[in-house]
C-alpha cells in the first residue's frame, strides 16, 4: 500500500542535506519565494507553524535573504500572512503588483494594470460567456488600493 507521507519523508531524507546546504551553507540563498494556497498554508488556510519556524531560522542564519510571497491573491488578502512571516517582498494579483516592506507596512513598488476601457471590455465579454455557462464564477475589484 502506498503511503504518501512515508514517500515524502524518504524524498526529504535524500534531498534534505542538499537543501540545507543550499539554504544555509556556502551558496547563500538570496531570496525565498513562497506561494500561499497549497504551499505555505495548510488546509485551514493558516501558515504551518513549522514553516514560520523554518523561515525565522533561515533569517537568523542568513539575515540578507529576502522573503517573498508570490500569489494570485490580492494585496489585502495577503497582508496578515505577510506580517506573520515578516515578508520583505509581496507579488500579488497574479504578478500584477509588487510591494516592498517599508517601516511598518508595504509600499507599492510597481503595478501592471489595464486601462479602465480594457477592463470593462473584458468584463463585458466575460458576462457574455457566463450567460452561456452558469458554472463560471468571476470576481472583480475595481477599487484602487493605495
Task: Say which DSSP state 93 is in.
Answer: G
Q: How far does CA 119 lie from the centroid of its chain?
A: 24
pLDDT at 146: 44
What are the residue boundaries of the structural domains of the chain, listed by start? Answer: 4-113
Question: Given this model, what pLDDT does residue 136 score?
Answer: 62
pLDDT of residue 58: 87
pLDDT tens sequence across 64-89: 889 999 999 999 999 999 999 889 99
* Record: fold of 4-113: Rossmann fold (3.40.50)
How far is C-alpha 96 from the chain's CA centre?
A: 13
Question: Taking Cα atoms as reference points, which of 35, 23, 21, 26 lies closest to residue 85?
Answer: 35
**CA proximity to 34, closest of 76, 86, 96:** 86
Q: Is residue 87 helix, strand or coil? A: coil
Under-70 pLDDT residues of the chain: 1-28, 130-146
Give the C-alpha separation, 92 to 100, whole Å.
11
Asked if residue 96 lies in contact with residue 145, where contact means CB atoms within 8 angstroms, the answer is no
Amino acid at each position: 500500500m502506498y503511503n504518501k507521507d512515508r514517500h515524502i519523508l524518504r524524498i526529504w531524507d535524500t534531498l534534505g542535506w542538499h537543501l540545507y546546504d543550499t539554504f544555509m551553507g556556502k551558496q547563500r540563498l538570496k531570496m525565498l519565494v513562497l506561494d500561499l494556497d497549497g504551499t505555505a498554508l495548510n488546509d485551514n488556510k493558516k501558515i504551518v507553524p513549522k514553516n514560520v519556524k523554518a523561515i525565522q531560522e533561515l533569517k537568523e542564519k542568513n539575515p540578507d535573504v529576502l522573503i517573498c510571497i508570490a500569489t494570485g491573491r490580492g494585496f489585502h488578502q495577503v497582508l496578515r500572512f505577510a506580517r506573520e512571516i515578516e515578508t520583505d517582498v509581496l507579488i500579488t494579483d497574479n504578478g500584477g503588483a509588487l510591494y516592498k516592506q517599508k517601516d511598518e507596512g508595504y509600499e507599492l513598488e510597481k503595478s501592471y494594470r489595464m486601462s479602465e476601457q480594457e477592463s470593462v471590455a473584458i468584463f463585458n465579454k466575460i458576462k457574455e460567456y457566463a450567460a452561456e455557462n452558469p458554472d463560471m464564477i468571476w470576481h472583480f475589484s475595481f477599487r484602487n488600493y493605495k
